[in-house]
Structure 1
Amino acid sequence: MGYKILVINPGSTSTKVAFFEEKTCLFVESLNHSANDLADFDEIPDQLGFRTQIVLDMIKKHNLNLKELNAIVGRGGLLPFVHAGGYLVNETMKKRIIDGPISEHASNLGAIIAEAIASPLNIPAYIYDCVGSDEFKDIARVTGVPDIKRESLCHVLNQKAIGRKVAEKHGKKYSDLNVIVAHLGGGFSVGAHEKGRIVDCVRDDAGAFSPERSGSVPLLYVIDMCYSGKYTKREMTRKIRGMGGLQALLNTKDCREVEKMIADGDQYAELVYHAMAYQAAKSIGEMSTVLEGNIDFIILTGGAAYSKLLTGLIAKRVKFMAPVEIVPGEDEMESLALGTLRILKGEETAAEYIEPQNK
């Protein structure tokens, strides 16, 4: 019998649970949460009991024998002071998530829910490739504003998982390659992967606009808007994340709808869509300089990578740099399970979360 792993992934509006035996997913289920479901919780940590009960209900529904589990892994959220890879959930990590400071996101609860279920079973609880993972070189952190340092914020889990898949496809090790991975989702992020480490990236608020992100915009205009008195901080934040990009320009964040608009002769929709691809290609070009042009593959992934028009437009501009691999979609549950499996098999070692003294 192989290793059995429970995967828990709390999202902003859903809770997902999956059960793997080795590399095989035996079940996966997602429960969506309406605004009414979450209305009674003032802060995300207040949702802990609610989310934990949902996971336990799913386990019961699928008649899963918890005593058969070897490990539980939760989605790692915006935890600071971590590198990529696996971490064993410990008291220090739980304290940081519950007491802060930590940027709010439902995925932060993944570690605590996993540990709450794993502890009575005397099995380990892990997180893996959490959003807050940071492998930047020091040179990548410097900005022209002393109060601001660049930090890694990209789709770490999917970017690294897809990097491994492409490497395996070509009979190579991810840790031996230099790749640029463009995650094309609701937001776009582009990572420069140097021998298995994301040493720099273009964040979703610093590069191309995307289905629901504004991307990079001239800062002086943003400052003018912030001090115009017309917008609250929340409204400005929504213009950057959630209501920017295609949503703001074309009143939809669905690439399929935009392509239908183009097919129906909408020239403005065509201009906007081509501009989004153009900007994504520019971000890939930016990361090519980080790797000094030494690039084995350029990889396009994420939900928007299902669009052959979009990926074709991007590939046309970047294929001169390296072969382009298109791997549409993402599978966070599989990525979490496979990372945990590597730990259980001794192929990787889970780190211990420690608060740095000079934080």
Structure 2
Amino acid sequence: MWKKERMKKAYKVLVINPGATSTKIALYEDEKVLLSDNIRHATEDLSAYKEVIEQLPYRLQLILDRLSKGKIAMSSIDAVVGRGGLLKPLQGGTYRVNAKMLQDLKQALRGEHASNLGALLAYHMALPLKKEAYIVDPVSVDELNPLARLSGWPELPRTSLSHVLNSKAVARKVAAAKGKKYEEMQLIVVHLGTGISVSAHQKGQIIDVNNAMEEGPFSIDRTGTLPARALVQLCYSGKYEEKDLLAKMSRSAGLFAYLGTKDLQEVERRIIDGDEEAELVFKSMLYQTAKEIGAMATVLSGQVEAIVFTGGMAHSDLVIQTLRERVSFIAPTVVYAGEMEMEALAFGALRVLRGEEEALVY
């Protein structure tokens, strides 16, 4: 047994997570972080590119420069994994980057987003090393129960776009802490980020979730679900162009529209200072979040083993306390504040390298 443990190969995985204004990179040796950096991108640098895909050579060179500065032996890397982008609906898991995936991301068929660069950056880093490139649990993972897909209008089916990567990562942690596999659990995971997604996890699949771009509770700067008739009337009022309205719904609505700030700590300071409007908006956001948690409990027929809070807002004691007061009767609550995307990407690739999972085909 001792010899087997000693002979077990240690895998090195390079992780690349492109965001709107930065590119996070990390080098893992098994579960240990050897290098971690967040490469910031100046607004003036990014403004030189009309489309996200045009940023590829720019970001790639910055990654190479950072690895060179860190004196990383590229030949030692066993795989490269990138954040998944806006791809076609697919099952959760680790996918090997292939030509079809790269083509779809270049064409941005489901929209422009910095995450679309993840697979491309991973591929171009892995190619000269003659290693595989992967993505893990992209935002387009769609495992919805057929019952959840109908919206009430055949032309407008519900689709799944959510914080899948982080949600599944924390769900796996909860399962491990209970001595179980993720595929054995029934959980509700609440991602409290710039957008809020509440997902029902049943035996390794997200069988229902609010699309955080257009459904569920309003959040820091997104609308959540809107009154449909009033929204249609607003669309035809002549007040907004389509692109302006869509931008407003996803970047300048929610808490920001009411209070003029996206800083949750500032909102909490206002509440402490007696600002009644700030308290009302704050509590309403969490009231709607609690309603969504309750809805997901019915999806799981009340058989919920834990409610898991994650994302940036989960750092706030006031946020967690307020939610717990409304939902703790459903199931025990667990907090994994922040996001674990880099770890989730690395561990997804490691499971494939170790033969614990099969890489999926896009």
**TM-score category (smaller protein):** over 0.9
Residue pair 2:136, 2:165 contacting (<8 A) in 1 also: yes
Q: Structure 2: which 5+ runs fail to align?
A: 1-8
Secondary structure of the residue aligned to 2:232 is: helix
Residue pair 2:85, 2:105 contacting (<8 A) in 1 also: no
Residue pair 2:151, 2:157 contacting (<8 A) in 1 also: yes
Seq. identity, %:
46
Q: TM-score with structure 1 length normalisation?
A: 0.96
Cα gap change, 1:338 to 1:47, in 2 (>3 Å): same
Question: Aligned partners of 1:258 and 1:147: how far apart in 2?
Answer: 39
Deviation at 1:264, TM superposition (A): 0.5
Question: Aligned partners of 2:124 and 2:42: how far apart in 1?
Answer: 25
Secondary structure of the residue aligned to 1:231 is: coil
- Where does residue 304 of structure 1 map in the other structure? 313
Query: Greater CA deviation, 239-248 or 175-184?
Result: 239-248
- Where does residue 320 of structure 1 map in the other structure? 329
Of residues 270, 273, 288, the one that matches 2:282 is: 273
Deviation at 1:306, TM superposition (A): 0.8
Matched, 1:264 2:273: yes
Specify the code of the residue in structure 2 equivalent to 1:333: M
Q: Residues 1-359 of structure 1 correspond to what in structure 2 (within 5 A)?
A: 2-204=10-212, 205-353=214-362
Deviation at 1:100, TM superposition (A): 4.4
Deviation at 1:49, TM superposition (A): 1.1
Question: Aligned partners of 2:95 and 2:124: how far apart in 1?
Answer: 16
Question: Aligned partners of 1:19 and 1:36: how far apart in 2?
Answer: 28
CA RMSD for the aligned pairs? 1.1
Question: Aligned partners of 1:295 and 1:269: how far apart in 2?
Answer: 32
Specify the code of the residue in structure 2 equivalent to 1:74: G
Deviation at 1:102, TM superposition (A): 3.0
Secondary structure of the residue aligned to 2:216 is: coil
Deviation at 1:99, TM superposition (A): 3.0
Question: Aligned partners of 1:90 and 1:341: how far apart in 2?
Answer: 19
Query: Greater CA deviation, 137-146 or 4-13?
Result: 137-146
Residue pair 2:310, 2:338 contacting (<8 A) in 1 also: yes
Question: Deviation string for 1:41-99 (max 9, x for gaps)?
Answer: 11111111111111111111111111000000010011113211100011111111123
Secondary structure of the residue aligned to 1:215 is: coil
Structure 1 runs of 4+ aligned residues shifted over 4 Å read none
Deviation at 1:123, TM superposition (A): 0.8
Residue pair 2:159, 2:211 contacting (<8 A) in 1 also: no
Residue pair 1:213, 1:242 contacting (<8 A) in 2 also: yes
Question: Deviation string for 1:141-200 (max 9, x for gaps)?
Answer: 112122111111110000000001111112222111100001000110010000110011
Deviation at 1:109, TM superposition (A): 1.1
Specify the code of the residue in structure 1 equivalent to 2:238: G
Q: Structure 1: which 5+ runs fail to align?
A: 354-359
Secondary structure of the residue aligned to 1:241 is: helix
Secondary structure of the residue aligned to 1:336 is: helix
